[in-house]
């Protein structure tokens, strides 16, 4: 009965929460990418990515909005469904969109939909101490949760732009405390976006669960980037942590493989990708 989830007829077993925790403990970097459709999900999975995120960044890179705010639960369910058909080995995480987790009951209902209708294995939500009760409620129902702290793109209109977070000491201390609180509430992963590298390391050292960084420096347990950024599809001014892996690559698959290898070999992020 349990064979399906453990093997799916593959040489390597699929990644699960325990795999990721083990990787943190053994210092094996976790390589993560976003995906939004079945074909790219297959490439990303084939490239050896450990975790695939159906991010609400789809609002920007797929739908053409300026922010992630307009993304709906229906959008995420649709994209999770199609991505899940392309993923074999990687752990599949889906974003809870803006205002889809503003109460315990709403969060539980929407998380269940992402898992049952979409096929997500974990849900990700943005927020620090203010989300501890929501995270505790979801994890009390055995819903795996990734807590997204640092730059929270859903709060862009409140914070006044996509900016580096945790620059001053009190803000940095608060972020470490938030990570500890979220872990205590049951979060299985912390995603840390756009913070100085020193803070990335402090958060990584403060919790036992894996810390996945995006613009959080080299001293975290894993790295995630938006697929369309590493494939050179995204136009305009890009954040400094983005690297275009299509340059010099033979194919989209090759670019994804190069990203995964760079993370595993700790060549990404280099100092030029980091904030200090």
Binding residues for ligand KIV, rule: CB under 6 A, are 34, 53, 55-57, 95, 193, 214, 224, 226
In the complex with ligand KIV, which residue's Cβ is closer, 6 or 182? 182
Report the alpha-carbon distance of residue 23 to residue 171 in Å, rounded.
Answer: 29
Q: Please, what is the minimum distance in Å from the beta carbon of residue 35 to ligand KIV?
A: 10
Report the alpha-carbon distance of residue 21 to residue 23 in Å, rounded.
Answer: 5
- Check: CB of residue 157 under 8 Å from CB of residue 67: yes
Q: Please, what is the minimum distance in Å from the beta carbon of residue 2 to ligand KIV?
A: 31
How many CB atoms are closer than 10 A to CB 11? 6
In the complex with ligand KIV, which residue's Cβ is closer, 56 or 178? 56
Q: How far is CA 17 from CA 90, 144, 147, 190, 273, in A?
A: 11, 8, 14, 12, 28
What does 121-134 look like in DSSP terms, one character per residue?
SEEEEE-SGGGHHH
Active-site residue identified among 126, 193, 198, 250: 193
In the complex with ligand KIV, which residue's Cβ is closer, 7 or 238? 238
Helix (H, G, I), strand (E, B) or coil at 41: helix
Region of residue 91 (phi > 0: left; psi between -120 and 50: alpha; otherwise: beta): beta
Is 171 annotated in the active site? no
Which residue is closest to ligand KIV by CB?
Answer: 55
Report the alpha-carbon distance of residue 190 to residue 276 in Å, rounded.
Answer: 20
- The enclosing H or E element of 107 equals helix 104-113
Taking alpha carbons only, the member of 136, 135, 109, 133 closest to residue 124 is 135
In the complex with ligand KIV, which residue's Cβ is closer, 52 or 115? 52
Report the alpha-carbon distance of residue 42 to residue 273 in Å, rounded.
Answer: 27
Q: Please, what is the minimum distance in Å from the beta carbon of residue 107 to ligand KIV?
A: 17
Q: Please, what is the minimum distance in Å from the beta carbon of residue 191 to ligand KIV?
A: 6
In the complex with ligand KIV, which residue's Cβ is closer, 183 or 229? 229
Q: Please, what is the minimum distance in Å from the beta carbon of residue 262 to ligand KIV?
A: 17
Residues with a known catalytic role = 193
């Amino acid at each position: 009965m349990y064979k399906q989830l453990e093997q799916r007829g593959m040489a390597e077993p699929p990644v699960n929460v325990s795999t990721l925790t083990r990787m943190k403990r053994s210092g094996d970097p976790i390589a993560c990418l976003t995906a939004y459709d079945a074909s790219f999900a297959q490439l990303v999975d084939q490239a050896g990515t450990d975790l695939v995120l159906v991010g609400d960044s789809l609002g920007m890179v797929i739908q053409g909005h300026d922010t992630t705010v307009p993304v709906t639960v229906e959008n995420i369910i649709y994209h999770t469904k199609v991505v899940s058909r392309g993923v074999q080995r990687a752990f599949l995480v889906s974003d809870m969109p803006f205002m889809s987790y503003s109460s315990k009951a709403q969060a539980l209902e929407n998380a269940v939909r992402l898992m049952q209708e979409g096929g997500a294995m974990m849900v990700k939500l943005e927020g620090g101490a203010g989300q501890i009760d929501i995270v505790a409620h979801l994890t009390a129902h055995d819903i795996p949760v990734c807590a997204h702290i640092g730059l929270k793109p859903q709060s862009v209109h409140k914070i006044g732009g996509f900016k580096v977070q945790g620059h001053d000491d009190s803000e940095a201390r608060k972020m470490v405390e938030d990570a500890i609180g979220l872990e205590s509430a049951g979060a299985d992963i912390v995603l840390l976006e756009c913070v100085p590298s020193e803070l990335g390391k402090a958060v990584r050292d403060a919790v036992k669960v894996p810390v996945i960084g995006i613009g959080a420096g080299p001293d975290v347990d894993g790295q995630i980037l938006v697929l369309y950024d590493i494939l050179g599809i995204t136009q305009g001014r890009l954040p400094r942590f983005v690297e275009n892996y299509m340059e010099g690559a033979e194919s989209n698959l090759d670019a994804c493989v190069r990203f995964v290898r760079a993370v595993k070999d700790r060549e990404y992020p280099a100092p030029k990708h980091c904030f200090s």
